[in-house]
Amino acid sequence: MTASDFLQITLYFTLLIVLTPVLGGYMYKVFTGEKHLMTFVLGKPEKLIYKLSGIHPDEETNWKTYTWGLLLFNLIGMVFLFVLQIIQAQLPLNPAHLPNVSWHSALNTAISFMTNTNWQGYAGETTLSYLVQMLGLTVQNFVSAATGIAVLLALVRGLSRKSASTLGNFWTDLTRSTLYVLLPMSIVFAVILAGEGVIQNFHPYQAVHTLQGTEQVIPMGPAASQIAIKQLGTNGGGFFNTNSAHPFENPTPLTNFLEMLAILLIPAALTYTYGKMVGSLRQGWTIFMVMLILLISGLAIALYGEYSANPIFSQSHLMEGKETRFGITNSVLWSTVTTAASNGSVNAMHDSLSPLAGMVALINMLLGEVIFGGVGAGLYGMMVFVILTVFIAGLMVGRTPELLGKKIGAFEVQMAIIANLSTSLVILVFTAWASVSSYGLSSLNNTGAHGFSEILYAYTSAAGNNGSAFAGLNANTLFYNLTLSFSLLVGRFGVIIPMLAIAGSMARKNITPESAGTFRTDNWVFGGLLIAVILIVGGLTYFPALSLGPVVEHLLMIK
């Protein structure tokens, strides 16, 4: 690694830390209804949205109504996107005359984008029309991220309110997240991207006669607008097949840097918003630091793996699946960040990463997408581990477990366990099934340990709502489309529903004042315990599976 490699990494994390309180403070104002700069610009459109949709923005609801609203809204979005794909040939804005998508691929894509995963079994430029990309996918990019933020807000209100029965209004949270946070940031970002060379047009595909005399057809489309929200909303679904490795999707080192920053920006800032909402910035920063430590540790291992010589090839490092303009460091930084946050966009092919770098990507997802994680989803996923840590620490020292002055009871721990186990279960069961069935194995591009990693990665990515892939696996088959769709749903709603239940139950509780006997959750001791719980839970659940995949492959490679 050179000095400029270290400089890029340092600048990346410095900007992330500096921007966290700036954006986090702004979001606090937005979500608590305080006046802020954007109210003057977007206050009227906000009111108009409420009027058109029949929403009473100040009417608060209990957790069940909140959950029903969320589920119905997601269901409608999914059905709309599904239908759009299976009739796209009959609809306008399809200059490449792409045929209708098969029902199982359309179902998988619809669920995948609704759940903020953006797993893609298809290739954008040869499968979806411009209309589906913008009217279907772009919309889900926004609202699935807003849904994640809404769940987090409900949970935080549940934790910070005293003997309350309501958690806020889902429609208001959804609208404000979209209108005041995601949309303005996307507009600015999309314009910057277009200025660097990301395409944004509605032209038909351009046929050219190349300099050396071959024919090439260059795809077009409204890409910049979708790519901006794809990065900011931790969605990750590329406009093109190879995502941000594609030169039209990520043309320069600057776009690469900004796209990487956009991945973590909102998830990181939400830890600050959380701290501010519960009335203690230290609570937020403690979680931020835990996430940062886990992220940087993973990055160090991944960089070590990628820069170590691969004895099978006589080259010092492998450029397979990587772009010249990004090189090794930017490819590994991206692969670590995109899997830590549940973004899942890629700028290099993860399938071709060294075993250790690939394993870090896998572990980031297996730990439950809590290292910053998805927009909203990362922090509410982290709260599962916070509750477990408080519970375990309480058992160890013989105190009643408390979080922010609220007693953690059997119900909360049960819900946290359900949230934790549901994802593990689908990952391990489906991986095992695919590994021993002919229809599972026939999709593999690589054999042996690496082939197993391809399958494990697919279900982990789906259940973790990440969406990146060891793309050698041909997942566009009936078997994979359906089992992955199921994993996507469990990974999303198997966590959201228990978390909203916890929010509802916590809201009703009284807050006991802090005393000398209170177990603090805003210091290094707690941070250390939290890291230990995350690693032990993740390690115990997945170590056997990891040892069959990347661990064996690494040992075979250095043999």
Partner 1 sequence: MKTQFIISIKIFAVLTVLCGVIYPLLITGIAQTVFPEKANGSLITVNNKIIGSELIGQKFDSVSYFQSRPSAVDYNPLPSGGSNFGPTSEKLKEQTSERVKQWIKSNLGISAEKIPAEMLFASGSGLDPHISPEAALLQVDRITKARTLSSEQKQQLVDLIGVVTEQPQFSFLGEARVNVLMLNLALDKQFKNN
Determine the Cα–Cα distance for residues 427 and 183; give it in Å rounded to an integer.
34
Determine the Cα–Cα distance for residues 299 and 350; give it in Å rounded to an integer.
14
CB of 30 to partner 1, least distance (A): 17
Residue 319 as a binder of partner 1 (CB under 8 A): the answer is yes
CB of 513 to partner 1, least distance (A): 37
Residue 518 as a binder of partner 1 (CB under 8 A): the answer is no
Determine the Cα–Cα distance for residues 413 and 502; give it in Å rounded to an integer.
9
CB of 277 to partner 1, least distance (A): 24
452 HSE (CA, 13 A, CB side): 17
Please pick, from the candidates 116, 339, 443, 453, the single residue that binds partner 1 as defined by CB under 8 A. Answer: 453
Q: Is 327 left (phi over 0), alpha (psi -120 to 50) or beta?
A: left
From the CB of residue 297, how many other CB atoms can be counted at a distance below 10 Å? Answer: 15
Determine the Cα–Cα distance for residues 331 and 116; give it in Å rounded to an integer.
23
Comparison of 77 and 158: residue with beta carbon closer to partner 1: 77
Comparison of 341 and 349: residue with beta carbon closer to partner 1: 349
* Residue where the block lists tokens 């979500």: 31
Which of 265, 99, 243, 122 lies closest to 181 in space, CA to CA? 265
Number of amino acids touching partner 1 (CB under 8 A): 120
E strand or H helix at 208: strand 206-209
* Residue where the block lists tokens 């996923």: 381
CB of 342 to partner 1, least distance (A): 20
CB of 503 to partner 1, least distance (A): 18
Comparison of 191 and 478: residue with beta carbon closer to partner 1: 191
Residue 365 as a binder of partner 1 (CB under 8 A): the answer is no
From the CB of residue 321, how many other CB atoms can be counted at a distance below 10 Å? Answer: 18
Residue 240 as a binder of partner 1 (CB under 8 A): the answer is yes
Q: Is 147 left (phi over 0), alpha (psi -120 to 50) or beta?
A: alpha
Please pick, from the candidates 108, 116, 118, 175, the single residue that binds partner 1 as defined by CB under 8 A. Answer: 175
CB of 95 to partner 1, least distance (A): 13
Between residue 13 and residue 52, which ones bind partner 1 under the rule CB under 8 A? 49, 52
Residue 313 as a binder of partner 1 (CB under 8 A): the answer is yes
Which of 135, 151, 141, 88 lies closest to 113 in space, CA to CA? 141
Please pick, from the candidates 24, 121, 344, 355, the single residue that binds partner 1 as defined by CB under 8 A. Answer: 355
CA 111, chain centre distance (Å): 14
Q: Interface mask (CB under 8 A) for partner 1, residues 197-226, using x and -?
A: xxxxxxx-xx-xxxxx-x-xxxxx-x-xxx
Between residue 399 and residue 438, which ones bind partner 1 under the rule CB under 8 A? none
Comparison of 99 and 528: residue with beta carbon closer to partner 1: 99
Q: In this structure, what are the phi and psi dihedrals at residue 406, rounded to the nearest 5 degrees?
A: -110, 135
CB of 187 to partner 1, least distance (A): 7
Comparison of 330 and 465: residue with beta carbon closer to partner 1: 330
Q: Give me 133's structure tokens.
A: 């990309």
From the CB of residue 328, how many other CB atoms can be counted at a distance below 10 Å? Answer: 20
CB of 317 to partner 1, least distance (A): 6
Scanning 192-200, 276-284, 416-424, 480-488 for contacts with partner 1 by CB under 8 A, the matching segment is 192-200
Please pick, from the candidates 27, 332, 353, 383, the single residue that binds partner 1 as defined by CB under 8 A. Answer: 353
CB of 161 to partner 1, least distance (A): 22
* Residue where the block lists tokens 């991220």: 145
Between residue 322 and residue 341, which ones bind partner 1 under the rule CB under 8 A? 322-327, 330
Residue 310 as a binder of partner 1 (CB under 8 A): the answer is yes
Q: Give me 12's structure tokens.
A: 């990346």
